[in-house]
Chains A and B, each alone.
Chain A
Amino acid sequence: MALIGRDTGPVPVSPPGGATGRVSLPRRVADFGRSNATGIWRWTGWTAAAVPLAALTFTVVILLVKAWPSIRVNGGFFLTGSAWKPGNTYGATVHTHGVAHPLGSSYGAWPLIVGTLQTSAIAVVIALPVSLGAAFALTERLPSWLSRPLGFAVEILAGIPSVIIGLWGVLTLGPYLAQHVYPPIADHMPDVPVLRYFRNPVGHGEGLATSGIVLALMIIPIITATTRDLFVQVPRLPKEGATALGMTESEVARRVTIPWVRSGIIGATVLGLGRALGETIAVAMVSGAALNTIAPNIYGTMGTIAAAIVTQLDSAYTDGTGFAVSALAEAALVLAVITIAANVIARVIINRTSRNGAPVGRGV
């Protein structure tokens, strides 16, 4: 105790085991246990982080294996043909290229591919401006006592299960649109090349237009939430500087805020697009789930790949050769390729736009 307060110089530290360096066995075991706690976290964490990769690989492998018979037999026709024919599943089995399949079966998924791309395109075209506008309203315009509950409303829309949105689409929105919204539009459309697509017949509300609107509703929360978070991160100074220069709010939005977060908006849109491409249940309920039809006008019934898979899988198993299941596997593969391609294209766009210099100051 007499040493307190008195500087006696550096304290010599003896290495573990003393000058000879030999450590006792209990000490070595204790050291091993203590230092490996981090090792356990790292090890289990690595395994857990590898699970998505493993699941992804497993999915692709299973899809390829299951789709192979269909790829062999249908070939390019799968992507261009318009006939989804299971053939005579009670009849004879024929062999093409060594693959057994029912007589008369041939699968062409072109209408499904078109339906998928159409519904998703309509959804994104509707959702993008609405989401951006809503995000602006939430972040710039409203006082926080209003923007919090309204922001929560957006979260609720995101959380509503898709089957309930589909139910609402079939029972409420579809009939409403078919009775009150589509007829005025369809009745007044001239018979002119592009607008011809919007003419009668209007149907009962199940079809391409309603599917696009329902899908838009499902991806709006995704884009809105992400964009709102991005807008909040835009630094105040450039916006205030623009306002000080006399720009109106809309000009600040267009020339400062949006360029600042442009790549984030593209990313959010692609996220929404991915959701739209893969949405199964709501579209199956609202589109009419047709297999061989491309919608003749914007109100017509059609089908998407995802809707076809969910409605056809049960009956596909009645095909004893497994060919019908293989066709669905190939359809799932095509859908996966489309989704991944959209993702990759978006990343390329994002990388290219974010490499340019300061986003502010161009185009004023």
Chain B
Amino acid sequence: MSTMTTDFTDTRGRRARQQIFRGLTLLALVLVVAPAAWILIGVVARAVPTWQWSVLWTPTSGAGGGLSQDIVGTLVLMFGVLLVAGTLGLLAGIYLSEMAAPTRSGRPGARLFRSATEVLSGVPSITLGFVAYVALVVGLHWGFSLLPAVLVLSVMVIPYIAKSTETALSKVPTGYREGAEALGMSPAYALRKIVIRSAIPGVVTGLLLALAIAGGETAPLLLTAGNTSSYPTGALLHQPIGYLTYPVWTFYNYPSEQAHHLAYDAALILVVLVMVLLVASRLIVARTQRHAEGGRA
């Protein structure tokens, strides 16, 4: 069958191809959804039989014990990323959407910054982790600690936040901005009170997804946060910090059963964390669509 012409009189052949197409697309969907379910079920099935709630509040000792310091560490890292990448990404998104003047040909402005952001989002996380290790952990003698870990995760995640902020801001109707100006509001006031406020759901969704990405990272953290069995002390430098992906990466092929259990438990906690963030962002999107003008419930 040539790709450029269809024999439109061949009705039975066309109908057959249509049915095959239908079947294939549904099969493709199954091929996408089934592994997701398989993975989740697998994680739960391996972790639940040997689950002990004490894992949540006991720190790791050797290859046994619990995971509490890793849980706290992951949450602390996420908070740090929220502070650093959240602020910077938000400001960058606002700048790119509202203030970068369009070029003379009408294309969006700040093209160098935009291209750099896109290229940065394509740089592998291991490369950023490597650079952070070489320059910050070893080069500046910061050692495995909180600050290089937060910095490298933030750099990874800022492109996502900037892009989602920019998208959210672009969805705010121009009428809002024009009305604000007509009422005599200064641009900064209008930005704060009207534009950003309307875009908050989209921005929050982007932040939650960025946190999910940061919490699930392993490679850059292996190279910047190190590992420890003590709780984070709040020290920015010279103090390693634990995180939930570490036991999964290291303990899964230790020879001890206890280590395996910890690996599966960490995987389960991670999955729960990520699911909470994803569900929260979905709920926010659904709520705004219900309240938006013309949105469907």
Q: Confirm or deny: B51 has a beta carbon within 8 angstroms of a beta carbon on chain A.
A: no
Whether A329 pairs with B29 at a CB distance below 8 angstroms is no
| Minimal beta-carbon separation of A8 from chain B (angstroms) | 23
Which residues of chain B (109-123) have a CB below 8 Å from chain A? 110, 112-113, 116-120, 122-123
Contact B127 A332 (CB under 8 A): yes
> Do B223 and A167 have beta carbons less than 8 Å apart?
no
Whether A163 and B218, one on each chain, are in contact in the complex, defined by CB atoms closer than 8 angstroms, is yes
User: Among A165, A246, A250, A274, which residue has its beta carbon within 8 angstroms of that of B21?
Assistant: A250
Q: How many residues of A contact B (CB 8 A)?
A: 88
Classify the interface of chain B: helix, strand, loop or mixed: helix
Pick out which of these stretches binds chain A: B37-45, B60-68, B75-83, B231-239.
Answer: B37-45
B-contact bits for A115-139, CB 8 A (1 contact / 0 none): 0000000000000011111101110
Query: Are A160 and B219 in contact, CB atoms less than 8 angstroms apart?
Result: no
Q: Which residues of B contact A220 (CB under 8 A)?
A: 32
Q: What's the A-B contact tally at a CB cutoff of 8 Å?
A: 272
For A167, list chain B residues within 8 Å (CB): 43, 248, 252, 263, 267
Bound-complex Cα distance A73 to B263 (A): 41
Q: Which of A53, A134, A250, A325 contacts B32 (CB 8 A)?
A: A134
B window 176-193: CB within 8 A of A:
186-189, 191
Q: How far does the alpha carbon of A309 sit from the alpha carbon of B218 in the complex, in Å?
A: 13
A162 to B29, CA, bound (A): 21
Interface residues of B in 1-37 (CB under 8 A from A): 3-4, 6, 8, 14-15, 17-18, 20-22, 24-29, 31-33, 35-37
The tally of residues in B whose CB lies under 8 Å from a CB in A reads 95
A56 to B124 alpha-carbon distance, docked (Å): 12
A164 to B217, CA, bound (A): 10
Q: Tell me which residues from 141 to 170 in chain A have a Cβ below 8 Å from any Cβ of chain B.
A: 141, 150, 152-157, 159-165, 167-168, 170
7 smallest A-B Cβ distances: which pairs? A278-B124, A45-B95, A133-B28, A161-B216, A37-B188, A250-B21, A48-B91
Residues of A whose CB lies within 8 Å of any CB of B are 34-35, 37-38, 40-42, 44-53, 55-56, 58-59, 62-63, 66, 129-134, 136-138, 140-141, 150, 152-157, 159-165, 167-168, 170-172, 217, 220-221, 224, 246, 248-251, 253, 271, 274, 277-281, 285, 306, 309-310, 313, 317, 325, 328-329, 332, 335-336, 339-340, 343, 363-364
A-B contact pairs, 19 of them (CB 8 A): A37-B188, A45-B96, A49-B117, A51-B158, A56-B120, A59-B127, A154-B33, A156-B275, A156-B278, A157-B32, A159-B275, A161-B215, A161-B274, A172-B38, A248-B14, A250-B21, A251-B6, A251-B14, A339-B122
